[in-house]
Amino acid sequence: MMRGGMNTYRIAVLAGDGIGPEVMEQALRVLDAVEKKFGFATERAACHVGGAGIDHCGKALPAETLAACEAADAILFGSVGGPKWDALPPDERPERGALLPLRKHFSLYANLRPGICMPELVGASPLKDSLIQSGFDILCVRELTGGMYFGEPKFYGERNGETVALDTLVYKKSEVERIARVAFQAARGRRGKLCSVDKANVLSSSVMWRDVMNAIAPEFPDVQLSHMYVDNAAMQLVRNPQQFDVMVTENTFGDILTDEMAMICGSLGMLPSASLCRGNGESFFGLYEPSGGSAPDIAGQGIANPIAQILSMGMMLRYTCRETAAADAVDAAVRRVIAAGYRTGDLATGAPGETRVGTSGMGDAIIAAL
């Protein structure tokens, strides 16, 4: 919306638990700086979520938090969970009690997870330098509201004198079509290669997945589509990650492959994500969050890497606000501070030329680089 002649975006800020609040603080400082530079504004509503929601309001996703998200153009999310709440029943725990309902409530079906290993950070990856040379840049598009996570029936109990547990892997054709189009579109804006990951040698849902991908492909003649079984994809990621441009896959496979992808990038502290649902026209409603989690072991010490949170804010500028120049500037500033040698503990290798910084020091460096 316009306010005082300026594009103004409403953001629900859900910092959450662990390192969430401290990395969020840096992302908001960087947002202040890009707003000034690029001439737009945000209205921010800070809300409790996760363990903080449980402690303050008795629920991981309090009603007032959900209401603030509904009133917003985007949700900027920190991270949730920690040992304090681990004894709660699984459905009430911060991770499942907040994230899954948010995804379902807002139909956030398209989860974009970039896996970028910058050339300067090759040494931080557990893969041999010889396997990744100049780094890599993969985008995983994970379907986020279907498959086994939400499929019915679900059951855990007694049947005919035996304990039985059951999950259902179900997809509708329309659900696969819409995620396919997001992935093809993304590949079109990058190197034009899309690898669809499935288990079509075993699962019916994967046979349909593959059929749908092939059926959509002619809409995107400029994108080269390939298919790979998920077990092979897990292997290829550690054998030759440079072969991938965009990967698209169903919910559970995407959960597993994106953790693997994050690991080989060197540090979880670098990876943003966007969970999107198509809004009006070109713009998406989205939830933007770091891939890394709440890292309770290092929370409150001022040493966490804020880059994943800052890049998540940048993805918000790109996909919800359509402030492309500002989003590009955030990405470029991060690349510049990495190239200049600034390193939080997770990235440091002790190589000459590195400057060790804490959470706010990294924020300062990125703001200066803007």
75 vs 333, which CB is nearer to ligand IPM? 75
Residue closer to Mg ion, measured from CB, 72 or 247: 247
Token pair of 350, please? 């002790």
Give whichever of 113 and 343 is closer to ligand IPM, judged by the CB atom.
113
Which residues, 306 to 325, sit near ligand IPM by CB under 6 A? none
- The piece of 52-60, 70-78, 95-103, 241-249 that touches ligand IPM (CB under 6 A) is 95-103
Residue for token digits 């994050």?
A: 262
Please tell me whether residue 95 binds ligand IPM under the rule CB under 6 A: yes
Taking a C-beta distance cutoff of 8 angstroms, is the pair 320, 74 a contact?
A: yes
Residue 96 binds which of ligand IPM, Mg ion, none (CB < 5-8 A, kind-dependent)? ligand IPM
Is 265 among the residues that bind ligand IPM (CB under 6 A)?
no
DSSP label at residue 220: -
Q: Tell me whether residue 231 is one of the annotated catalytic residues.
A: yes
CB-nearer residue toward ligand IPM: 35 or 143:
143
- Cis (ω within 30 of 0) for the bond into 218? no
State the number of binding residues for Mg ion (CB under 5 A). Answer: 1
d(C-alpha 334, C-alpha 139), whole Å: 18
Which of 358, 177, 364 has its CA nearest to residue 278?
177
User: What is the Cα–Cα distance from 193 to 190, expressed in whole angstroms?
Assistant: 8
Q: Which is nearer to Mg ion, 96 or 193 (CB)?
A: 96
Q: Kindly write out the interface string for residues 230-259 of this chain, putting x where it contacts ligand IPM by CB under 6 A and - elsewhere.
A: -------------------------x----
Q: CB under 5 to 8 A by kind: which of ligand IPM, Mg ion, none does 95 bind? A: ligand IPM
User: Regarding beta strands 155-159 and 136-143, do their DSSP bridges make them parallel or antiparallel, or are they unpaired?
Assistant: unpaired
Token pair for residue 6? 């300026």
**Contacts with ligand IPM: how many residues (CB under 6 A)?**
5
Which residue among 47, 61, 99, 315 contacts ligand IPM (CB under 6 A)? 99
Handedness of CA 213, 216, 221, 222 (dihedral sign): negative
199 is catalytic: yes
**Which pair of tokens denotes residue 135?**
């780094």
- 25, 43, 167, 255: which one binds Mg ion (CB under 5 A): 255
Q: Which residues contact 7 (CB under 8 A, 6 or more apart)?
A: 1, 40, 41, 321, 323
Contact 113, 291 (CB under 8 A): yes
Which residue in the list 149, 171, 288, 319 is annotated as catalytic? 149
- What are the start-end ranges of the H helices in 100-169? 100-105, 129-132
- Options 29, 96, 181, 193; binder of ligand IPM; rule CB under 6 A: 96
Q: Is 149 annotated in the active site?
A: yes
Give the nearest distance from C-beta 288 to ligand IPM in angstroms.
12
Closer to Mg ion by Cβ: residue 98 or 338: 98
- Choose one: 107-115, 230-238, 248-256, 260-268; the region binding Mg ion (CB under 5 A): 248-256
Opening angle at CA 85, ends 79 and 86, nearest 5: 100
Stretch that binds ligand IPM, among 91-99, 183-191, 234-242, 318-326 (CB under 6 A): 91-99
CB of 100 to ligand IPM, least distance (A): 6
Helix locations, the chain, DSSP H = 20-38, 51-57, 63-70, 94, 100-105, 129-132, 173-188, 204-216, 230-239, 251-264, 307-319, 324-339, 359-369
Contact positions vs Mg ion (CB under 5 A): 255
Contact positions vs ligand IPM (CB under 6 A): 95-96, 99-100, 255
Name the residues annotated as catalytic: 149, 199, 231, 255, 259
